Structure 1
Amino acid sequence: MKTRVRNWRSAAGIGALVLAVACAPADAPISPPPASAEARFAYLTYSGSDLIFDLPLSGGQARNPILAGYYPDPSIVKVDEDYYLVNSSFTHYPGIPVFHSRDLINWTQIGNVIDRPDMLDFSGLTVSRGVFAPTIEFHDGLFYVINTCVDCGGNFIVTATDPAGPWSDPLWLPHVGGIDPSLFFDEDGKLYILNNDAPEGEPLYQGHRAVWIREVDPESFAQVSEPVVAVNGGVDLSQKPVWIEGPHLYKVDGKYLLSAAEGGTGPQHSQVILTAESPLGPFTPHPDNPVLTQRDLPEDRPEPITSVGHADFTQDSDGNWWAVFLGTRPYQGNEYNTGRETFLMPVTWENGIPRITAPGDVIPHVIDRPALPAQPGAPLPLTGNFTYTDAFDEEALPLHWLTVRIPSEDGYRLENGELVLEKRAEGVGNPGHPSFLGRRQQHMNAEAYTEVLFVPGDSDDEAGIAAFQNDAAYYTLGLSLDEDGAPVVRLRKRASVDTDPDGEIITEVPALAAPGEPLKLKIAAHGPEVDFYQASPEGVWQPVALGEDGTILSTEKAGGFVGTLLGVYAQSDPD
């Protein structure tokens, strides 16, 4: 945790106020400081404390998930002694985070695949569209990420010699439809693309999908063979399986293994295996499917890990197999605000197929570490309980910070150890590009707080801290003015697309700071409830509102595929 002694009263707004007081006649009125065009944030401190992360560890153990918070749809590749992992990011920008590890436990974000505004266009998209499940591969010195931009171009491939970037501009694949494409480089040099798409003919039921496969040219990616259906519906079409997706193809001991998710991304999620003698099939479902699920366990089990699936496999240098996959940690029912997280489990082989869980197996919160040389923990903690402060004293915003959709211009800067955010007319509930930056909520019990210097010009100006799931599911806690021009802290809430994009004002209380003075604001999440506080820089936290409904930020209620971001915002007229 970084600490800095700040002299906020050297800031322009404070300086103007001090000068006005010093120079004004004794009986002259004191002019208020001029309104701010920008909000200045001194830091953002995030703290998380979940009971499962208090479980003791021995020297040979590690925590699950390995990436806590909104890191869904993991894909992994091993290159020499290094492992690289990518996740979905939908319309958050920068997109598709890239992680590196040498022990499969400690991960460091080294880049983002989508990190230039001209790579993709998310304009007008809701938060859970954009880039879905990516696949990362490595072949002949080149890294590949294949992905779908949903409602923004379709399937594409980008490449890089360094996974930290830069990545190439997208090469679009108009002959590959649907979502969740993946690549398979065979030993004979041939390249295949798999993807989820509609089945042949008319779907037989809601959720009836298929996995398709075709050979493509390794250089141009042009189609070489006609696509064929590798999986129709799922492992047993008579049972009406739904949402077969996220396919990956492997070759093990001369046999081709197709692994795919089945059952949707909720509690019925699972992973299934099919086998073939040829990369184009025909593929035969293994009789012992699924090889990963938690849907067969009691719903009332303590501290559950649910909705597991969308796995990808890798092998360590000793020949041991491992799987990364997504899962969720609900605080009640199927409600969680942290999104879908990345878990790790060892893989065993039974009857020629990889198995992650057997029927009745519970995915543990503590696992045995891989027998790999342990590496130091990452600068940014990604699992366990921790407190971390972004002090905004680097040259660039840290890689784990996100905004919504791809901006035409940044609208922020780092200056003198502060994050300076311009106020925009687009509010947090606006489907454009609001002036909002945030980081993932990684714990069901989490706090985020900041110190803001902002002088509102009128009651439409706000700047502060936000808990944002999507445009229609958020809380903002901001410094503003009331109709009489007095400084207030205003709490807004939006819980539905059918409500005002500006949000409902829950409460408005006098600010504990005079105009031109800094103010501290805090959001504290406790599973299904959220508390909101304010304080002067030297004062103690005072409640603004307690016990507000946190379930509006859950995937179950807010919908979509993302998790909550905690961050800062600045806006002028929300209309």
Structure 2
Amino acid sequence: MTYRNPIIPGFAPDPSIVRIHDMFYLVTSSFHLFPGLPIYASRDLIAWRHIGNAIHRPTQLSLARSSTKLNPLDNGSGEKAPATGGLYAPTIRHYNGKTYIVCTNVVYDPGRDKGDWASGLTFQNFIVSTADIGIGVWSDPVFFEYHGIDPDLFVDDDGRAYLAGSAWTPSPSCCINCFEIDLQTGQKLGEEKILWHGYTKVIPEGPHIYKRNGSYYLLVAEGGTHEGHCLTVARAPTIWGPYETCDHNPILQPTTTLDPSAYCQYNGHGDLVQDLQGNWWMVCLAVRRDRAGRMVLGRETFLTAVYWPEGQIWPQIQQPIPRTSRRRLGNGDSEEGLSMSPPIEAVPSPFDPKMDLVCIRDPDPGRSKISSDGRTISLVPLPTELGQCTGEPTAFVGRRQRRLEGSATADLALTSLSAATEVKMGMAYYKDEHRYARIMYEPGHGTLAFEVKNGAKDPPISREKRADVHFLRATKLQFRVLYTGQFIHFMYRVEQAGERSGWNSFGLIDTLDMSSRDFTGPVIGVFAVGAGEEWCTFEDVDI
């Protein structure tokens, strides 16, 4: 089978996959975005469609404290690694007619931070379920007690359910713990036990348990989620162990070890699935990183082939590559298709064109209106700035950037705005409260402004530009964000009496200024910051 990578481009880390009858379903982390835990569906593992979100009601849980902590790197560079809270590393599984997702909501409280990031964390682990994944209505969370992240759900042949996860006790020197659980109540049905400390013993996380030929296999991500990221596996006669380490771990090696200049980097955090023909596959995260260090779209979802050689007990995994590939042939040779091909674009579900629109943390539904086709977005401004995480809502609606090259546009209707409006409104390229760039109109000051901020860089990036403008007879102000793999270009033009001016350049940044060791990826959207009750309406929104 020929397939192209990444299969889910843009902000799609920590994938988990399940096959239900003849359909594959995949879920990824979403961190600080609402709705959260996007669900994708495919019949062939190649063409994927966004069909829903497991966290789709504000009443299910709160993301208000999914802030981003900047952690100093240990490489002496002075640069910081952004670690974002919110929804981490879900696992999706199907049992007895119901589909389950287990996940962690990581809450960061700066008041409890004793100098290390972990001391300020609270882990809200939960289970959501649905009897019909196609309809897309998921239950309220069933919370369970677990001091850790990345829960995995395994249901054994006798129907007993187990949760395994990365236990943080008492600091991020993790191990993989497991306990039996009641899926309906979240109650622990037995003692929590350590299964494995991993192969490298460097932050083992993202565990998944499988049963094959009577043995229990434990697949684990290790080495951190960046340069040392890898996958290891162990095997045991019972779910409780003892676990025997694979003799050729890591079974998916850090790309930096194999080829530091490789375009595909940081691969790891995988989940296995079988197709209808009995072939094994793995989805995992990776980044596309150019030689200058640009990782424009952050961590994405890749597909790669898995083999169980006859007479051997350990699987073999092909190194994922960002291009068209084919499964290895039965004689041990390999086939590869074309060199670099464009990634498959994630297509919104035909049932709801607004399916992939997202807000930052908890939305305020009463202060936003979105048309049925998603092309008109109206916002009542809120005081929370893009650079803040106060626990209060932010007036922002956008979409994940899915392609390396493209553009986003939106027309701000000026006729309904008062000249004295103390509001900033425009388009933003957003990653978290420390890293964003935006173009905006400030009618109360008669200015057009451009800002770019990245507090994770050394030294921190903070640039501003303002210009006096006169839009007295203008009816619309059109914003445009033009992006490539190297640059992000912020532009505007004015519509007056039905005539539009040419595009004016107003801000240009190198994508390297927004690249980092990300948890998240870029989201492009419209926003309104300020006070008052005036609606700010963006028309012909195309992101």
Say whether the fold is shared (TM-score over 0.5).
yes
Matching residue of 1:228: 193
Q: 1:342 to 1:385 in 2, by over 3 A?
A: closer
Give yes or no for contact 2:123–2:147 (8 Å, CA) kept in 1: no
Q: Which runs of 5+ in 2 are unaligned?
A: 69-83, 108-121, 330-340, 533-543
1:224 aligned counterpart, secondary structure: coil
**Pairing of 1:375-386 with structure 2 (within 5 A):** 384=343
Q: TM-score, length-normalised on structure 1?
A: 0.77
Matched, 1:172 2:143: yes
Aligned amino acid, residue 113 of structure 1: A
After superposition, the CA RMSD in angstroms is: 3.0
Pick from 549, 554, 560 the counterpart of residue 515 of structure 2. Answer: 554
Matching residue of 2:102: 146
Matched, 1:115 2:56: yes
Aligned amino acid, residue 195 of structure 2: A
Pick from 256, 260, 268 the counterpart of residue 309 of structure 1. Answer: 268
Pick from 242, 250, 255 the counterpart of residue 215 of structure 2. Answer: 255
Matching residue of 1:343: 302
Task: Give the Cα separation in 2 of the matches to 1:70 and 1:396.
Answer: 20
1:134 aligned counterpart, secondary structure: strand
1:353 aligned counterpart, secondary structure: coil
Q: 1:280 to 1:331 in 2, by over 3 A?
A: same
Matched, 1:433 2:381: no
Task: Give the Cα separation in 2 of the matches to 1:475 and 1:276.
Answer: 50
Deviation at 1:221, TM superposition (A): 3.9
Q: State the identity %.
A: 29
Give yes or no for contact 1:337–1:441 (8 Å, CA) kept in 2: no
Q: Greater Rg, structure 1 or structure 2?
A: 1
Matched, 1:453 2:418: no
Matching residue of 1:56: none
Q: 1:260 to 1:344 in 2, by over 3 A?
A: same
Task: Answer with 177-186 or 427-436: which moved more.
Answer: 427-436
Q: 1:188 to 1:386 in 2, by over 3 A?
A: closer
Question: After superposition, what is the alpha-carbon deviation per residue over 1:123-157, rounded to whole angstroms, capped at 9, x for unaligned?
Answer: 23315211100001100001111111112652111
How many positions carry a matched residue from both structures? Answer: 476
Matching residue of 1:405: 361
Aligned amino acid, residue 342 of structure 1: T
Matching residue of 2:78: none
Task: Answer with 399-408 or 74-83: which moved more.
Answer: 399-408
Task: Answer with 267-276 or 504-513: which moved more.
Answer: 504-513
Task: Give the Cα separation in 2 of the matches to 1:439 and 1:134.
Answer: 21
Deviation at 1:254, TM superposition (A): 1.0
Matched, 1:477 2:436: no
Pick from 126, 132, 138 the counterpart of residue 156 of structure 1. Answer: 126
Question: After superposition, what is the alpha-carbon deviation per residue over 1:208-242, rounded to whole angstroms, capped at 9, x for unaligned?
Answer: 2100112223544422231221111x215xxxx31
Deviation at 1:163, TM superposition (A): 1.7
Deviation at 1:385, TM superposition (A): 7.2
Task: Give the Cα separation in 2 of the matches to 1:273 and 1:387.
Answer: 31
Matching residue of 1:299: 260
Give yes or no for contact 1:554–1:563 (8 Å, CA) kept in 2: no
1:551 aligned counterpart, secondary structure: helix
Task: Give the Cα separation in 1 of the matches to 2:476 and 2:43.
Answer: 43
Question: After superposition, what is the alpha-carbon deviation per residue over 1:33-58, rounded to whole angstroms, capped at 9, x for unaligned?
Answer: xxxxxxxxxxxxxxxxxxxxxxxxxx
Q: Which has the higher contact order (CA 8 A, sep 6+)?
A: 1
Aligned amino acid, residue 398 of structure 1: K
Task: Give the Cα separation in 2 of the matches to 1:436 and 1:418.
Answer: 13
Q: 1:530 to 1:344 in 2, by over 3 A?
A: same
Pick from 213, 216, 230 the counterpart of residue 178 of structure 2. Answer: 213
Matching residue of 1:541: 503
Q: 1:567 to 1:218 in 2, by over 3 A?
A: closer
Question: After superposition, what is the alpha-carbon deviation per residue over 1:360-417, rounded to whole angstroms, capped at 9, x for unaligned?
Answer: x56241123899xxxxxxxxxx9737799x9xxx996611111011124342113485
Task: Give the Cα separation in 2 of the matches to 1:246 and 1:87.
Answer: 12
| More strand per residue | 2
Give yes or no for contact 1:105–1:369 (8 Å, CA) kept in 2: no
Q: TM-score, length-normalised on structure 2?
A: 0.81
Q: 1:561 to 1:133 in 2, by over 3 A?
A: same
Task: Give the Cα separation in 2 of the matches to 1:331 and 1:568.
Answer: 29
Matched, 1:289 2:262: no
Matching residue of 2:523: 565
2:512 aligned counterpart, secondary structure: helix
Aligned amino acid, residue 316 of structure 2: R
2:234 aligned counterpart, secondary structure: strand
Aligned amino acid, residue 257 of structure 1: Y
Task: Give the Cα separation in 1 of the matches to 2:105 and 2:54.
Answer: 13
Give yes or no for contact 2:363–2:395 (8 Å, CA) kept in 1: no
Q: 1:319 to 1:433 in 2, by over 3 A?
A: same
Task: Give the Cα separation in 2 of the matches to 1:355 and 1:247.
Answer: 18
Question: After superposition, what is the alpha-carbon deviation per residue over 1:72-106, rounded to whole angstroms, capped at 9, x for unaligned?
Answer: 11001111101111110112100000111111111
1:533 aligned counterpart, secondary structure: strand
Aligned amino acid, residue 296 of structure 1: T
Deviation at 1:530, TM superposition (A): 2.2
